[in-house]
Amino acid sequence: MTVDEPSSAASAPDEEPPEENPLALRIEQLILGSERRYTPFQAARSAGVSMELASRFWRAMGFADIGQAKALTEADVLALRRLAGLVEAGLLSEPMAVQVARSTGQTTARLAEWQIDSFLEGLTEPPEPGMTRTEVTYPLVELLLPELEEFLVYVWRRQLAAATGRVVQAADDEEMVERRIAVGFADLVGFTRLTRRLEEEELGELVEAFETTAADLVAAHGGRLIKTLGDEVLFAADDAGIASEIGLRLIETMTHDETMPELRVGIAFGTVTTRMGDVFGTTVNLASRLTSIAPKDAVLVDGAFAEELMRSGDAPESEAEAAKAEKEGRSPASAYRFALQPMWQRPVRGLGVVEPWLLTRRG
């Protein structure tokens, strides 16, 4: 969808649009639930929005400009009308509505690509000699579509409930936007060398196994997987103890997997800014830097994280303090889950001098 530009190549009247595959059109109609009826201008007019706003929504959702081809459906009109209605009702500002379109588009685009690449491709292998993939695809999509749609809505509602719960538990409005949490990176060591040594399929399997294992561990122990970057994952947790457990579990699990390279983990605690499901700020940068200087198969944390662990009673200030507490009957040494060892202070690019701490499991 784009602003009407009669002089552009996309809308030149003497150019014939490329002929599309009939099966692709049938599958598109099946998935969208309606046939192509509108040009972008007609869709915007039918939805009661300006072409400029319609184009902004369309591009934010991640779709290419289509000139004035008749390629849009009733579903596209309805989506435009709903977003514009939220703005008109004062529930969302126009920039926020565009952000909603962009965050939804980016998230679902990745999901759709994964489902086609890893899911449908395997399932649409011809089951019998002589059958083509195209003969299998349409009935398979017809069967899967309603089930996948229901499951997608279910997971989204579950995630929305969890995210809303975290927000309403914030102490004040400021904390809802800038929150103090633990942020951690886990990075595969020597991944660049692996890309030169492994076949593409082997590399893909390794990355998938790493991301799957990391995602499962983060979720199981109460953290949130923010994003994956092939050889690196970014996770967050509201509690330093939870983040510690995740970091150490990642190291322990990968160490016992002979197919996996060594791992480095860096975690920092502090204020972060959240936007579109991602996290930003000095705390995130510090966690990334700690990861880059961490020893192999080890977890490094910053001073604020170490203080938070001590404050919560998850780690003693020192082993001498743990022995003293046990002797005085204040807290048995076994009550501390983690141990912290101060490392040499060092300059970190862009962040000044930091004092990292080595995090280990006690006992």
Q: Band of the pLDDT at 186, cuts 50, 70, 90?
A: very high
DSSP string, 2-61: ----TTSGGG-TTSPPPPPPHHHHHHHHHHHSS---B-HHHHHHHHT--HHHHHHHHHHT
Q: Which residues contact 117 (CB under 8 A, 6 or more apart)?
A: none
Tokens of 99: 């952000």
Is the confidence at residue 332, as pLDDT, over 70? no
Is the confidence at residue 8, as pLDDT, over 50? no
Is the confidence at residue 282, as pLDDT, over 70? yes
Which residue type sits at 219?
A
What confidence score (pLDDT) does residue 14 get?
42
What confidence score (pLDDT) does residue 117 get?
73
Report the C-alpha gap between 241 and 315 in whole angstroms: 9
Q: Band of the pLDDT at 150, cuts 50, 70, 90?
A: very high
Q: Over the stretch 65-121, which tens digit does the pLDDT of each residue have?
A: 888 889 999 999 999 999 999 999 999 999 989 988 988 888 888 888 877 776 666
Q: Over the stretch 188-200, which tens digit does the pLDDT of each residue have?
A: 998 877 777 778 7
Q: Band of the pLDDT at 13, cuts 50, 70, 90?
A: very low
Is the confidence at residue 141, as pLDDT, over 60? yes
Which of 22-26, 151-155, 173-177 is the most confident on average? 151-155
Which of 12-21, 24-33, 174-183, 188-197 is the most confident on average? 24-33
pLDDT, mean of residues 345-361 = 85
Higher pLDDT, 85 or 14: 85
Of all residues in the chain, the percent with pLDDT exceeding 90 is 40
Report the C-alpha gap between 84 and 56 in whole angstroms: 12
Q: Over the stretch 221-280, which tens digit does the pLDDT of each residue have?
A: 999 999 988 889 999 999 999 999 999 999 999 988 888 889 999 999 999 988 777 888
Single pTM value for the model: 0.68
Q: Which residues contact 3 (CB under 8 A, 6 or more apart)?
A: 51, 52, 55
What confidence score (pLDDT) does residue 298 get?
95
Report the C-alpha gap between 262 and 187 in whole angstroms: 9
Element spanning 182, H or E: strand 178-188
| Under 8 Å between Cβ of 247 and 267 | yes
Q: In 201-239, which positions are buried (b, 16+ CB within 10 angstroms) versus exposed (e)?
A: eebeebbeebbebbeebbeebebbbbebeebbbbbbbbb
Is the confidence at residue 187, as pLDDT, over 60? yes
What confidence score (pLDDT) does residue 2 get?
45
